[in-house]
Each structure stands twice: as structure tokens, then as C-alpha cells.
Chains A and B, each alone.
Chain A
């Protein structure tokens, strides 16, 4: 049974269409991310779920019940906001207790619940501090505790990490996932950061201009992007001009590439082939390949990103090599590369 369902939600702000009929079902205990560039409609979807915006048409269901007409304060959803949202006039305990007091939970059980929540986010020692005495990461953990204290049916996370610096962001991201799994709560997570989405989600929904382009597991959206937009938005892509030979083969300069997914484009039409850097390999023996020379390299520990300028196409591509290439490849070296079409996407030109 799915716990949070969007049924053909449409929403416009004036002439600007934010959502073109969003259909999405988040399962019980599942963490689904909505990922996309700003203005793609992901935050609107979340705000409609929370009740802060009203959909023009369509319905939002929680546990099978239509809550589209319910005001936000009756929806029993926990939400963590992008900007710091703790009440500045209340200390950590009073902030976490806030939702329990509005629900008229008796004082003793409220205190127990607050203590449990603070332990969950590991902030017991800061119970009597005020928001301005906490770091950004701590404030967002209190916000998470506050959202979970009310035992919500759904947890909504609106870019909760984007105001934090990189190190805190990564550790809080993992903590959110740990807590979400521990509590087993249905969660909708909105982010523009693909790394974040891939790291903590059960499924990722990639959005663009009010449409859900693809919904799938992190591996699916990364390995089998349904469109060129998804392919470009998640991870990096080498883009090469190609000519379609048949439904499963394209030619890049003089090298044929077998594209597993295939293409609908007619033979001889011009296209762009999108191939991931890790699917681009150097040719070691005398096989056919695209000739070029090494332009530069960036060593990243586990792997090295090598930039290559292809002679015939005058295109710059990147190749991921495992480990270091020190002593093997230097800038200026003549190389040949092949393209592995297993996860490639063919896009029409123009």
C-alpha cells in the first residue's frame, strides 16, 4: 500500500505552469527524492503535500484518504525546511515539544517523547540551548526531531541540507537516512543535488519543467536514464556528434557504436550520443578507436579523470581511469578511445 500519493496534480502560478499533472506514489516507509533544477516543480509538489499550496486539480492521498482539502495544521505531516525554521524564542526542548503541545499531549509523555527525539538526533546535551546557540547542522537536526516528535504519517524534507557546508551536509545526509530507516517513516525528499538524491533514496524522481521525467532506483536513473535530460542532469556525460546507422547502431566519426537501448531515429539522421566517462575507454591494443591527445588529468585518489581532445571531431571528452595514470599518460600523448554503448543515450539534433 502506498502511503503518499499524488494523483494527476496540476498547479499554475499565473501563466507559469509548475506541475503538469504529477502522478507519484510513495510506498510505506519508502524514501523518494524529487530531484531537479530550480523551478522544476519539486518544491511546489512538496508544498502541496504539506497543504501550503492548493493544487488546481488532482488529489493528494495519505493512506488512501484524500487530504486535498485539509488545512496544513490538520495533516499530521512532519516537515524540515531549507532555511532555519526553529522558533527563535523557544529553546531546543520547547521547539521539539511544540507540535506535542498543539496536540494537547500531556506534559509527562511529551517530555519523554522530547527526550527520545533528542537522543535520536544525538542532541540530548543541547536540550536547554536556544537556536542561535546552535550550528546550522545542529539546528537542522533539532528541526528533524521536532518534525518526528509528532509521529507524522509522512516526513517532508525541503532541501534540508542546502544551507549547510559540504562536510556537515554529507554527515547529516547519512544521519537522515539512518533515522528514516530506524523510524520507518514514509519520506518525500526534495533536492537539487543529484549526489544527495542518489545516496539516500529508495527511488529518485527526476523532474523537469513540471514533469516527472523518470522515477526509478538510484541505479536505474543513473544507468538507464529515460531521456537526454535525465542523463545530463545525473552524473556527467560525454556528448559526441553521431550518425544513426540503424535502430541499434550509430557511427561516431568512423567508429560504429552499439547502443543497447536502441534509438527511434531514422537511419542517416544526425544525432548526439551521450556516453558516461566511465563507459569511455582507452584502446590498449591496435583496435579501432577515435584518435586524440591527452589535454589534462585530475587525480582523485580512487580514479583519475583524463581530458582528451578528439582529432577528427574537435570535441573534448573525459575518461575515468581507475587509480593513477602517472607515468602512463602525459598531456600531449596520442591516444585512442572507444565508446561502450551499453548505457548510452541517443538524442536527435535540433
Chain B
């Protein structure tokens, strides 16, 4: 076999995997787009009708729904509240663990992953019972969801902030700052937060996507959040529901794109710095 032929043959495998993966991910999106944007009754989605009646009307119809805007607004409010509470709780906790309890890090890491393995429905049922008995005012409020969301986002948010702290030499930077006359607040504001900016940003975006997608608890506690509205809307108007799903997908993709754009330059800078540090000879202990 010739050299070129062997090369082609060698690349065939990886390319097949790539094509398979592309079909697996893109085909559902394409069919979603078709059902959302084509004004054709569901049973008539065949190859023959592929080019009939395409229109953006399906996408915009949802904006006229009475419950759409309140649901979206509620979810955004919940997202903001969740982000704020998550950061207020996690940044100091992660810092404290890094600086004072480094040996507790595996334990804390384990605890933050727990929400991932506990089924949301179990969480919701258990905490709903607790709320009913002890904090009825919170249970009936729309903010009742925030504590759940803080917990459900923990596996992502803690990890993100922890990674940010690992990327810098927190102890030395804090010591240097305090040695130069800065108290804890100044150190946090001028040294730690700027250097954690990209990990805080990604923790915030991850929290937002968790809130945008959570359904089980919202429906259990009977709150009209965006995912709950989407589900009900789909029941009333399947094609509109699919259009909304497509919109949501586009929206979160855009969010992700913004995130990677905002954090890219910093990440690159950090990466360069890391390479430089790695190239320096190791300090002799």
C-alpha cells in the first residue's frame, strides 16, 4: 500500500467517529428547527414537504403568550438571586478552606458533589416537608426555589471557584498583600477578586444555566418558572413548545459564547504565566 493510501486509511477511523458524533448532535437540532419553523401539521413532516411554508412566526408566537414574560422574568430574578447568594457563600468558604483547612479540601469537594447524586425530586420532597412545617412564609414565596438552586449548582460553582484558587498562589498573594499593609477587605478587593474574575464569571454563568433548566423542583413547589411555562406551553401548542426549546438552546449557546469570549484573554494570560512558572527550576525544599 502506498504511503498516501495508508495515511488516508489511518484517518478514516477518527473521521468516521467525528461524522457519527456530528450526526448525533446536529440531527436533533435540525429536526427541532424544522418543526419549529415550518408551518406544516406534524404528521406531514416528510421529505416531500421539506421546502414548504418556512416562517419565523413559530418563534415569535410565544412572545404573545400572557404567561411567557412573567415566567421568564421570575427565572431571571431567581438566577440573579442564586448567583449572588452562591458567590457570597462560596468565595469566602473556598478561600477559608484553601488558606486555613487545606486538609479538609477532599471532604468539602465531596460534599459539594452530593447534590449531583441526590435526585432533585427527593431533595424537593424532603425540603418541602421541612418548609411546610417550619417556614411556611418562604414556602409560599417565589424565592423558595433559591436555596434549592444554590445547592443544585454547587457541584459546578464550587469546582469553578476552587479551580480559580488553584491557578494562583493564594497563600503567598494574601501574605504579600497583608505584609504591604492591606487588611482582609482590601486584599479581597484588589488582589483576590480580580484574579478570580474569570472563575467567578464562569461560576455565575453555570448557575444561570442550572436555573434556566431546572424543572422538577419548580413544578413540585408549584412555581411558574420559565421551564415550567415551557412544559405547559408545549402541552397546549406542541409546535410552539418546540420553537421555544430552539430559542432556549440558542439563548444558552449565546450565553456560553459570551462567557468564553469574556474569559478567553484572561485564561490565555494565566496559561502563559503557568508555562513560565513550570519552566523555572523547582525550589529546593
Give me the interface of A with B, judged by CB distance under 8 Å: 38, 50-52, 71-79, 81-89, 98-99, 102-103, 130-132, 136, 143, 146-147, 150, 159, 162-165, 192
Contacts and interface: CB of A to CB of B under 8 A. Distances in A.
Contacts of B178: 51-52, 71-73
Nearest to A86: B176
B181 A163 contact: no
Interface stretch (B18-26, B249-257, B272-280): B272-280
A132 B276 contact: yes
A126 to B, nearest CB: 15
Interface of B: 168-169, 172-173, 175-183, 186, 190-191, 194-195, 269-270, 272-273, 276-277, 280-285
A164 B173 CA distance: 19
Contact of B176 (A74, A79, A159, A163): A79
B284 A85 contact: no
Contacts of B173: 85, 87
A85 B170 CA distance: 9
A39 B284 CA distance: 13
Nearest to B176: A85
A89 B195 contact: yes
A280 B282 CA distance: 36
B195 A81 contact: no
Nearest to B183: A73
A162 B191 contact: no
B164 to A, nearest CB: 12
Given A50-B175, A192-B284, 17 more contacts: A50-B179, A52-B178, A73-B181, A73-B183, A77-B179, A85-B169, A85-B173, A86-B176, A88-B270, A88-B273, A99-B181, A102-B181, A130-B269, A131-B273, A164-B281, A165-B280, A165-B281
B179 A73 contact: yes
A158 to B, nearest CB: 9
A146 B283 CA distance: 22
8 contacts: A52-B175, A72-B175, A81-B172, A88-B273, A131-B273, A132-B269, A132-B272, A163-B282
A167 to B, nearest CB: 11
Nearest to A159: B283
